[in-house]
A and B are shown apart, each in its own frame.
Chain A
Amino acid sequence: MSGQSTYEPKSAITRWMDKRLPVSRLVWDSFVDYPTPRNLNYWWTFGGILSLCLGVQIITGIILAMHYQVGPGAFASVEHIMRDVNYGWMIRYIHANGASMFFVAVYVHMLRGLYYGSYKAPREVLWLLGCVIYLLMMATAFMGYVLPWGQMSFWGAKVITNLFGALPLVGKPITIWLWGGYAVDYPTLNRFFSLHYLLPFMIAGVVILHIWALHVAGQNNPTGVEPKSKADTVAFTPYATVKDGFAMSLFLIMFALFVFYLPNALGHADNYTEANPLKTPPHIVPEWYFLPFYAILRAIPDKLTGVLAMFGAIACLFALPWLDTSKVKSMRYRPQAKLYFVIFIVACVVLGFCGAHAPDDQVIPGLSAFQLLDSNINSFVWLSRIAALYYFAYFLVITPLLGLRETPLAVPESIAAPALSHPAE
């Protein structure tokens, strides 16, 4: 935190360096001596896990880029990586599954923030920077998925870039500008590759700001009560490092299970067929991590409104620090908020399922129900409308009102005050 630095250079070289560029002091103050709340649980290990994911994507990505070809040879070059490059299959499966792992981690990380009120003062900027990282991640993953130039790459790119065409006046010029022509084609692929290489480094830059903001405000903790004295904190090293390390290792086990035993489980079979602009696949579905937003998009019949709703769903996250009126940070002491939060998670999962199905498919097979407006009530489009309504209500109605009307439980005086669940032996 912003306290006094306790770093003491031990050797002549480090003393010399410390007077000129105190990098070791920075590292010492940020990752060794840095005080962390002693009651952090495993939900707090996902920040470290996310840094690991970014590192893995950048390293494997750079190796892939050494063998990947943009243009008509794109699809074959990915297969060249899979078949001829030494351990190329491993690099590619790590990169492809790594994107999914990255999103698993970021969703847990964000829900953690939502539950424990980590976006509230004094951490608003920290939260906003996180939202920027999330946006950049989505852009990166979307463009990365286009690179292998399979059927889903191509048709996914087409569906998503066409969304911009819904904007009035500027829509058409923007899509042509994005495509670099009049259709999704090799020029589009070429610029996506360039941007897919660039954006992860922009993410890395914003991550540095994110951690800087973290170290100014200090970490939140499960009680939401700010640390008041030394008794509330422990040093980052060894306490947080070893806990983060253990959690990362567990995460890597799950990661390795996918890479080595289920490498294509999260992908779509159609992406092993080369892109063909003349043959539309029967179901165009994005990667699982975009499905909730895809469901919101399709819940609304008007294309422009759908696009706005989809971006609005993300805008809610940005606005959250100013939508929440609660004085209490952690939902641990907000029983009502806890319940609405659980329903929020369910709504997001339901939206995900809706995104994977054709809008007119029946939710309960064989059940005939009545027609409401444009669709049968027993259809995924109606289910996604209900879930999307809850999604927006959670941010725009429930969160602001609940903070004013609920009666929270008693909040502890300090972190160390309540009997901690694991007392010292």
Chain B
Amino acid sequence: MLRKVTVWAAALGVLGALAVTPVIAATTHEEPAKVHWSFEGPFGTFDQQQLQRGLKVYREVCSACHSMNLVSFQALGDPGGPFFEAKYKKSSENPYVKAFAKDFQIDDVDTDTGDKIKRPGTPADHFPAPFANEYAAKASNGGAIPPDMSLLAKAREGGPAYIYSIVSAEGYKAPPAGLTLTPGQHYNIYMPGDLSGAWTGDPNKVPIGGVIAMPPPLADNKVTYDDGTKATQDQEAKDVAAFLYWAAEPKQDQRKQIGLAVMIYLLVFTGLLYAVYRKVWKNESH
């Protein structure tokens, strides 16, 4: 009896374990490429140089279509951020932040006349959106809305590796013969999608991936890096993905730092409690 039921339980357990294999759905895509990030692991931190390069890619390329509504200019000067410098206690006083903000034109209202005006940005302002509203965004992008980038790296399975993969040279592929794309659509192997409707070839060999309305945004030398790094497409893709991860989780460095202190404290405290526990129970059977 005992053995029988154990076998049964084990079999069910195996079934359960099998069930952990990733969800297979109607949509398919390549798993995001493996990338090494400076912020990996419990001690990993942002690479400030890389964030600066990524910011440049975002500003000069992606920001033409993608907004980043939740990120303020002064966040760039916070600890862990691309412009952080310890000597400026308040990031709103950081000269890089101030200069960066001033280059943007922000919508405002003239308090004397009530007219709509544009004024230079201040550190407290957020990145302005490229389109006035969703309709304008749609109209300019063949009906698709470029998603806001403030949280994109946390809002997609795979995070920064997914973003990197989409815009790297490996993502966009010439559509295989038999795949009909409508004008303005591009084939990307990392984009989740279900291409069976657009596929006229062997129904058992539907191409992996999906269509995306974004034209390939990156190429070699799309930007010129200030730190002399060679602006290959791969480098740009990595840098912008790292920057977008910072934008989504700007307190990451602080979180891990505090986490380390908390873990050390808790481990010591737990050890002490264990010693007290042993001592208290020493003369009591249990």
Provide 23 A-B residue pairs closer than 8 Å at the C-beta atoms, listed in order of the A residue. A40-B286, A83-B72, A93-B255, A242-B273, A242-B280, A242-B281, A249-B266, A260-B256, A263-B255, A269-B154, A269-B159, A270-B155, A272-B248, A283-B23, A339-B1, A342-B9, A343-B5, A346-B12, A354-B19, A361-B24, A423-B285, A424-B284, A425-B282
CB B196 to nearest CB in A, in angstroms, measures 15
A79 touches B15 (CB 8 A): no
Interface size class of A (residues with CB under 8 A): 35 or more
Tell me, yes or no, whether B133 is within 8 Å of chain A by CB: no
**Contact of A171 with B by CB under 8 A:** no
For B279, give the chain A residue with the smallest CB separation: A242
Binary contact track B1-21/A, C-beta < 8 Å → 1, others 0: 110011011001101101111
* Closest Cβ neighbor of B276 among chain A residues: A242
Chain A residues within 8 Å of B, Cβ to Cβ? 38-40, 76, 79, 82-83, 89-90, 93, 234, 238-239, 242-243, 245-246, 249-250, 252-253, 256-257, 259-261, 263-264, 269-270, 272-273, 282-283, 335-336, 339-340, 342-343, 346-347, 349-350, 353-354, 356-358, 361-365, 380, 383, 416, 420-425
Cβ–Cβ < 8 Å partners of B283 in chain A: 424-425
Which of B175-183, B227-235, B257-265 binds A? B257-265
Chain A residues contacting B251 (CB-CB under 8 Å) are 82-83, 89
Query: What CA separation (Å) do A363 and B71 show in the bound complex?
Result: 42
Residue B250, interface by CB 8 Å = yes
Residues of A within 8 A of B154 (CB): 264, 269, 272
B80 CB → nearest A CB, Å: 12
Chain B residues near A93: list those with CB within 8 A. 255
Given the contacts A82-B251, A347-B12, A242 and B23 also touching, CB distance less than 8 Å: no
Q: In the bound complex, do residue B25 and residue A250 qualify as a contact, i.e. CB atoms below 8 Å apart?
A: no
A260 touches B277 (CB 8 A): no
Among the listed A89, A238, A270, A363, which residue makes an inter-chain contact with B15, where contact means beta carbons less than 8 Å apart?
A363
Q: Does B107 contact A (CB under 8 A)?
A: no
B25:A249 contact, CB within 8 angstroms: no
Do A260 and B248 contact each other (CB < 8 Å), given the known contacts A269-B157, A272-B155, A350-B15? no
Interface residues of B in 126-184 (CB under 8 A from A): 147, 150-151, 154-157, 159
| Smallest CB gap from B275: residue in A | A246
Residues from chain A with Cβ under 8 Å of B23 in the complex: 283, 356-358, 361
Q: Who on chain A is nearest to B71 by CB?
A: A83
CA distance A260 to B255 in the complex (A): 6
In the bound assembly, the distance between CA atoms of A365 and B269 in angstroms comes to 47
- Name B241-256 residues within 8 Å CB distance of A: 248, 250-251, 254-256
List, in ascending order, chain B residues with CB within 8 A of A346's CB: 9, 12-13, 16
What residue in chain A is nearest B156 (Cβ atoms)? A269
Extra 11 A-B pairs, beta carbons < 8 Å, given A253-B263, A363-B15, A383-B19: A79-B150, A242-B277, A246-B274, A246-B276, A249-B269, A249-B270, A260-B259, A343-B12, A349-B16, A350-B16, A356-B23
Interfacial chain B residues near A234, Cβ < 8 Å: 284, 286
Is B267 close to A, CB under 8 A? Answer: yes
In the complex, A38→B70 CA distance in Å? 56
**Are B266 and A253 neighbours in the complex by a CB distance under 8 Å?**
yes
Which residues of A have CB within 8 Å of B156?
Answer: 269
9 pairs of A and B residues whose beta carbons are closest in the complex: A260-B259, A353-B19, A272-B155, A249-B270, A339-B5, A420-B285, A246-B273, A272-B151, A346-B12
Question: What residues on A are CB-neighbors of B42 within 8 Å?
Answer: 261
Closest Cβ of chain B to A150, distance in Å, is 9
A422 to B283, CA, bound (A): 10
Residues of the A chain whose Cβ atoms lie less than 8 Å from the Cβ of B8: 343
Contact check, B286 vs A38: say whether CB atoms are below 8 A apart.
yes
A89 and B250 CA atoms in complex are apart in Å by 10
Distance of B268 from chain A, by nearest CB (Å): 10
Q: Are A353 and B263 in contact (CB under 8 A)?
A: no
Residue in A closest to B257 when the chains form the complex, CB atoms: A260
Query: Does B151 lie within 8 Å of A79, measured CB to CB?
Result: yes
Chain A residues with CB under 8 Å of B263's CB are 253, 256-257, 260
Candidates B2, B27, B150; contact of A282 at CB < 8 Å? B27
| List of B residues within 8 angstroms of A243 by Cβ | 277, 281
CA distance A340 to B9 in the complex (A): 9
Residue B75 at the A interface, CB < 8 A? Answer: yes
Could you tell me if A273 and B155 are in contact, using CB atoms closer than 8 angstroms?
yes
Given contacts A261-B259, A353-B20, A356-B23, contact A83 B151 (CB under 8 A): no
CB distance from A115 to the nearest CB of B (A): 15
Cβ contact of A261, chosen from B20, B71, B256, B286, cutoff 8 A: B256
Question: Which residue of chain B has its CB nearest to the CB of A361?
Answer: B24
Q: Is the CB of A245 within 8 A of B16?
A: no
CB atoms of A363 and B155 under 8 A apart = no
CB contact list, B206-222 vs A, under 8 A: none
B270→A253 contact, CB < 8 A: yes
Q: Which residues of B contact A272 (CB under 8 A)?
A: 151, 154-155, 248
